[in-house]
Amino acid sequence: MRRLLFLFFLFPISVFSQSYELSSLNTAAKTGIRGLSVVSDSVAWASGSNGFIGKTLDGGKSWHWVQPAGYLEADFRDIEAFDANHALAVSAGSPAYVIITSDGGKNWKGTYKNVDSAIFLDGMDFWDNKNGIIFGDPIQNKMQLLVTKDGGMSWTDISDTANVQLATGEAGFAASGTSIKTMAGGKVWIATGGAKSHIYASANYGQAWSKYDCPIWSGENSRGAFSVDFYDQNNGLVVGGDYQKDKENSNNALFTIDGGKTWQKPAKPVFGFRSGVIWYDDKNCFATGTSGTDVSRDQGRNWYHISDESFNVIKKAKQGTLVLLAGNKGLIYSLKIR
């Protein structure tokens, strides 16, 4: 564990009456960051390749990085943190791991391991500090689903009982860990892509599911829905596209007003492939990807480009206004609205 120094670069961009300031918090950690969990305006966690997991206690100004013993080759595509001491990270690929810490990252314990060559976990989200869910690519066309009721200390495989059937060539994307979204009361949405793109929705903690068409750009294994977020049980956003053609914007963002049953195209689209999307408040939304970041001030109906910087993931504080973006080569930025 070591403290790193940072250089800050400010890029104020004005759209209408608001300006958006991107500040570099580059950590220089040798990791491609795809997992982010922003707890508050002070506390945030990040995870990525080469087994790296980082934490900040000062809003991103400084970061402490660790590589938990035994997981140096793990690619931690998603992380969920509850406070400065408690966090879980999930890896993509085989073997699949879930590890947990309760002492701020000093020590880590494995709570799930799967060595099946077909296992590939895509994302994780929690309804509260105890109840959470992980989903993964299908095995024999059946979506892999794990749930916990004890904060991640143990996991139950509900893949067989839930029996969520995917089309041949359909799967999830682990580009940012954000193709799954939970909401109070047991609601959860999962977005997929590849040969087909769908939204899978459950209102009872993943026990039973509904499937809705998602008319985002798909049809190839590099295309589909990469990130989903909901403001409430009705209003949601999904973004994606083709990560191999990240400057093309052929139907890369959609919005829903009926809980994901139907999806509509924005009047003004995002400016390329997007792997992360958030609701900042009831009007402002942000989407990011390897070809830049966009903002919408009208719930995803119109998008405006504010940065060309490449990122994988964007997250807003669960309690607060801090927004962080992260990408390859340890890249982390903060985003402020003025």
> What is the chain's pLDDT, residue by residue, as a tens digit (338 residues)?
222 323 333 445 555 567 899 999 967 789 999 999 999 999 999 999 999 999 999 999 999 999 999 999 999 999 999 999 999 999 999 999 999 999 999 999 999 999 999 999 999 999 999 999 999 999 999 999 999 999 999 999 999 999 999 999 999 999 999 999 999 999 999 999 999 999 999 999 999 999 999 999 999 999 999 999 999 999 999 999 999 999 999 899 999 999 999 999 999 999 999 999 999 999 999 999 999 999 999 999 999 999 999 999 999 999 999 999 999 999 999 999 98
In angstroms, the CA 51 to CA 54 distance is 10
H-run or E-run covering 29: none
Q: Which domains does the chain have, with CATH numbers?
A: 10-337 (2.130.10.10)
Residue 313 CA: distances (Å) to CA of 32, 34, 107, 168, 287: 11, 6, 26, 27, 9
Sheet with 44-48: strands ordered across? 33-38, 44-48, 53-56, 64-66
This prediction's pTM: 0.94
- For residues 224, 266, 181, 240, the Cα torsion angle rounded to the nearest 10 degrees is 20
Contact between 35 and 50 (Cβ < 8 Å): no
Beta bridge partners of 210: 201
Cα angle at 191 between 246 and 188, to 5 degrees?
A: 145
